């Protein structure tokens, strides 16, 4: 297994739309395993393949307290979303250190495939529902900050670009 590089907002590659997985093979299993290792190490509760510059519809999620309930969603699709909405403070491994409220459906029913290509459906609420929707947005090329006001989004972009410049500068000065 390997730790993968997570793209940071506002990297334009985060806006690429992911393609469906058509072959369920060892490569997909390894991708899901490497994504899970990267997510746990970050640490986070979800990671979409888009965030590691792989533009295929693969998501890994673990919202358990013990970090021992990994779920792999391949080619996920929302079958149903509740009319009831809920605001949840979201964060993102591609937008480190930034958290803000995003309104989403409180409950969703999703169909997807696991890493072996077996179809399944899950009804989710609370953090799992938020995480599924957040990661599915990544597959569509959308980052959670796009739900925020243009002013907040620009402040976040400026802050992260400044941090990136400082990281590169300190790495160059070694």
- pLDDT tens-digit map of 59-89: 999 999 999 999 999 999 999 999 999 999 9
User: Which pLDDT does position 172 carry in this prediction?
Assistant: 84
The pLDDT value given to residue 122: 98
Residues known to be catalytic: 135
Where is the binding site for Fe cation, in residues?
92, 134, 138
Long-range contacts of 28-36 (CB under 8 A, 24+ apart): 28/58, 28/74, 28/115, 29/115, 29/116, 30/1, 31/56, 31/58, 32/58, 32/60, 32/72, 32/74, 32/115, 33/1, 34/1, 34/2, 34/3, 34/4, 35/4, 35/60, 36/60, 36/62, 36/70, 36/72
User: What are the binding residues?
Assistant: 92, 134, 138
What pLDDT is stored for residue 1 in this prediction? 66
What residues in the chain have per-residue pLDDT under 50? none
Give me the pLDDT at residue 2, please: 81
CATH number of 12-147: 3.90.45.10
């Amino acid at each position: 297994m390997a730790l993968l590089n997570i793209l940071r907002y506002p990297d334009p590659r985060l806006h690429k739309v992911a393609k469906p997985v058509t072959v369920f093979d060892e490569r997909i299993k390894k991708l899901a395993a490497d994504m899970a290792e990267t997510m746990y190490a970050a640490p986070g509760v979800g990671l979409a393949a888009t965030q590691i510059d792989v533009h295929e519809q693969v998501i890994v999620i673990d919202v358990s307290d013990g970090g021992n309930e990994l779920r792999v969603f391949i080619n996920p699709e929302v079958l149903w979303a509740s009319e009831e909405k809920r605001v949840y403070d979201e964060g993102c491994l591609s937008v480190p250190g930034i958290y803000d409220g995003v309104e989403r459906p409180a409950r969703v029913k999703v169909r997807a495939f696991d890493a072996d290509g077996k179809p399944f459906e899950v009804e989710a609420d609370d953090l799992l529902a938020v995480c599924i929707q957040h990661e599915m947005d990544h597959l569509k090329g959308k980052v959670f900050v796009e739900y925020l006001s243009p002013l907040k989004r620009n402040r976040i972009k400026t802050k992260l670009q400044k941090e990136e410049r400082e990281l590169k500068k300190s790495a160059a000065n070694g």
